[in-house]
Structure 1
Amino acid sequence: MKKLPLYLKIIFGLALGILWAFLSTQFGWNKFTLDWIDPFGMIFIKCLKFIAVPLVIFSIISGIAGMKDINSLGRIGAKTIFAYLITTILAVGVGIFLVNFIKPGEMLDEEKRIENRIQYELWVSDQNGSVQIADDKRFLDDPKYSSYIKEKTKSSRINNNDKITSGLTSKKDNGPLQFIIDIVPDNMFAALSSNKLMLQIIFISVFFGMALLFIEETKAQPVIQFVIGANEVFLKM
């Protein structure tokens, strides 16, 4: 019997997941799902995470080290950057479209929406005119919210606003090329230990692969063979 292609298995799994979510909501199976099914999903996600970094590292190094013409590296790099920019633009465009179409904030309960709006206006008022509210709504000036403002935000205003202001101030002080500086890690092992620093991991991999092209072939070959073998192992995993 012919095996199902991977994409059909993925679609089949998604369909089963949606069906199970609907049935568990209707028949009260949520506790059973959390106790006996969710752990397997968490294990699967963890497996994907722990192979992500080595898979990226070994695949990039083996790809670069396997090139015979060093001059082609520049062309490949330019194409990679172009593809990265295009996919980033598409991702941002899809995100903006979905946010405006679905409007997820409207799904929040009214009390939470009011609280978030008041926190936003309180933060704007603390910026001494450097930030302007984007619409005509003014909850702080509305008498019907005066008691709510005093009750809900008196204790949390300082903490929340200080965190937001400090974060924005640090970003404001950064130069236009800060993102390039952030790509280069100051500690290779710290970068390799976090899935969130993927650009730094890619930089390390590209740098390592390029270095292999510039050393003697007799010294590079054992390393290249190890990298190729490790890449095959993680692909199989």
Structure 2
Amino acid sequence: MKRWYSNLTVQVLTAIALGVLVGALFPRLGAGLKPVADTFINLIKMLIAPIIFLTVVLGIAGMGSLKKVGRVGGKALLYFEIVTTLALAIGIGVANLTQPGAGVQATAQAVLLDSKKTEEAAKFTDKAGEMNWVEFFTHIVPDNVVGAFAQGDILQVLLFAVLFGLALNRLGEPLAPLTRTLERLSAVMFQVLGLVMKLAPLGAFGGMAFTIGKYGIATLLPLGKLMLVVYVTMFLFIFVVLNLILRYYKLRLGAYLSFIKEEILLVLGTSSSESALPRMIDKLERLGCSRSVAGLVIPTGYSFNLDGTSIYLSVAVIFLAQAFNIPLTFTQQLTLIGILIVTSKGAAGVTGSGFIVLASTLAATKTIPVESVALLLGVDRFMSEARAITNVIGNGVATLVIAKSEGEFDEARYQAAIAGHAVPVTQMAPAAVPQPLLESH
């Protein structure tokens, strides 16, 4: 049995507590620990470009199965885009309304973090602070693909990844060996990320000690407010937005949540929505969905329908902008939503992937320093469970909706399931379960 102290969450929580103590009792020492957090952030930044490239390429290349099912696949993708965009918009709206980042005195730190990034951000805005769309869009196209990776220009990497993935998808079966090679390379990169994330306690300790030592214990209040905003927003998204969607299709959210409570607890315990994937496919089939729809929509949703991750990313970006006193115009926030729609699709793989996507989004916008994510190191793990649970619930709702709209839903089986008379669990053949790009956080 795994020892409790070897759990990463326990280690991070311990590191946070120690960081707060060091920062509060020995402010000068705490402020001097900034390099510890910076080194961890650099390790994360090192992996952003290759992980985003491989994830987007493999996601698009794997969409061939969606073409085969035609209308169902297209409808699922349309649903995913509408709902995740709504989640992003809600997150940004709530963050602007509640101002969780207000009061974090980090303006000086923002200037010192990386003046070069500030200069790069300036070329995308005019004197009034509005977005210079000509410069923005022309910059997306790299004059050198290798240079885009070397400089960590995520928008340029994303463009190349989309084109590469589309080409790989169109060429199909003849290039299957290349796709498998990229899948293996992706697995290696996520293993590297897993190794880096073992250092998360050190990064959290350094980041928290520096923050408290430099800006005082009062800095914890905005971080607590950020957590509260994220949790409340996800709660409202599930019980208002997803509830209304299910009601439109004459389904009940309470009955659905009760039926998948074991999967929710599994995700809560592991902080990973991946752990519930096979069980969710089977549970949705027992709840009335056809196996073909459940086997397609659930795995695909793990890459394309990440409601919880979308809410977290949008709130976190606005929080950092507020914390570092970086005003964002309405057009810049619209741009953020557009970029998040793409980068959130890269939130796949293992623990810490949501952190990677947040960093990649900041790198793409060039408005908020990437290094600012160090401020979130201490609380990111607290929000991982909420992200994963919201993602799982949202994917189940998507499956029910698609099955209902396609006439692939057994009402009698649904009524029996919610009444506690579900059919026995079926043993699915491994080939029946598509292999998705999995999302943990």
Q: Tell me: CA distance 1:208–1:29, structure 2 relative to 1, closer, same or farther (3 Å).
A: same
C-alpha RMSD of matched pairs (Å): 4.0
Q: Verify: 1:168 aligned to 2:164, yes or no.
A: no
Q: Tell me: CA distance 1:4–1:213, structure 2 relative to 1, closer, same or farther (3 Å).
A: farther
Tell whether the 8 Å contact from 2:23 to 2:31 is kept in structure 1 after alignment. no
**Further displaced range: 225-234 or 72-81:** 72-81
| Percent identity (aligned) | 17
Aligned match of 2:64: 68
Task: Please report how far the alpha carbon of residue 192 of structure 1 lies from its aligned counterpart in structure 2 after TM superposition.
Answer: 2.6
Equivalent position SS for 1:168: coil
Aligned match of 1:15: 13
Equivalent position SS for 2:176: helix
Flag the structure with larger Rg. 1
Distance 2:170 2:24 in 1: 63
Q: Tell me: CA distance 1:222–1:173, structure 2 relative to 1, closer, same or farther (3 Å).
A: closer
Distance 1:78 1:48 in 2: 32
Residue 234 of structure 1, aligned match among 189, 195, 202: 189
Aligned match of 1:97: 97
Task: Please report how far the alpha carbon of residue 49 of structure 1 lies from its aligned counterpart in structure 2 after TM superposition.
Answer: 1.2
Distance 1:42 1:76 in 2: 40
Equivalent position SS for 2:127: helix
Q: Verify: 1:88 aligned to 2:101, yes or no.
A: no
Q: Tell me: CA distance 1:236–1:102, structure 2 relative to 1, closer, same or farther (3 Å).
A: closer
Residue 47 of structure 2, aligned match among 37, 51, 60: 51
Tell whether the 8 Å contact from 1:185 to 1:191 is kept in structure 2 after alignment. no
**Further displaced range: 20-29 or 57-66:** 20-29
What is the aligned length? Answer: 172
Tell whether the 8 Å contact from 1:59 to 1:231 is kept in structure 2 after alignment. yes
Q: Tell me: CA distance 1:200–1:57, structure 2 relative to 1, closer, same or farther (3 Å).
A: same
Tell whether the 8 Å contact from 1:65 to 1:210 is kept in structure 2 after alignment. yes
Residue 179 of structure 2, aligned match among 219, 224, 227: 224
Q: Tell me: CA distance 1:29–1:205, structure 2 relative to 1, closer, same or farther (3 Å).
A: same
**Further displaced range: 223-232 or 82-91:** 82-91
Tell whether the 8 Å contact from 1:65 to 1:209 is kept in structure 2 after alignment. yes
Q: Verify: 1:214 aligned to 2:184, yes or no.
A: no
Aligned match of 1:191: 148
Distance 2:84 2:157 in 1: 16
Task: Please report how far the alpha carbon of residue 9 of structure 1 lies from its aligned counterpart in structure 2 after TM superposition.
Answer: 2.3
Equivalent position SS for 2:64: coil
What do residues 118-150 of structure 1 show as CA deviations (whole Å, max 9, x unaligned)? xxxxxxxxxxxxxxxxxxxxxxxxxxxxxxxxx
Distance 2:176 2:184 in 1: 12
Task: Please report how far the alpha carbon of residue 47 of structure 1 lies from its aligned counterpart in structure 2 after TM superposition.
Answer: 1.5
In structure 1, give the amino acid aligned to 2:90: L
Q: With structure 2 as the length reference, what TM-score do the two structures score?
A: 0.32
- Specify which structure has the bigger relative contact order, considering alpha-carbon pairs within 8 angstroms and separated by 6 or more residues: 1
Distance 1:63 1:231 in 2: 11
Q: Tell me: CA distance 1:28–1:213, structure 2 relative to 1, closer, same or farther (3 Å).
A: closer
Q: Tell me: CA distance 1:223–1:76, structure 2 relative to 1, closer, same or farther (3 Å).
A: farther
Equivalent position SS for 1:193: helix
Q: With structure 1 as the length reference, what TM-score do the two structures score?
A: 0.54
User: Which runs of no fewer than 5 residues in structure 1 stay unpaired?
Assistant: 113-162
Task: Please report how far the alpha carbon of residue 34 of structure 1 lies from its aligned counterpart in structure 2 after TM superposition.
Answer: 5.3
Residue 160 of structure 2, aligned match among 184, 196, 204: 204
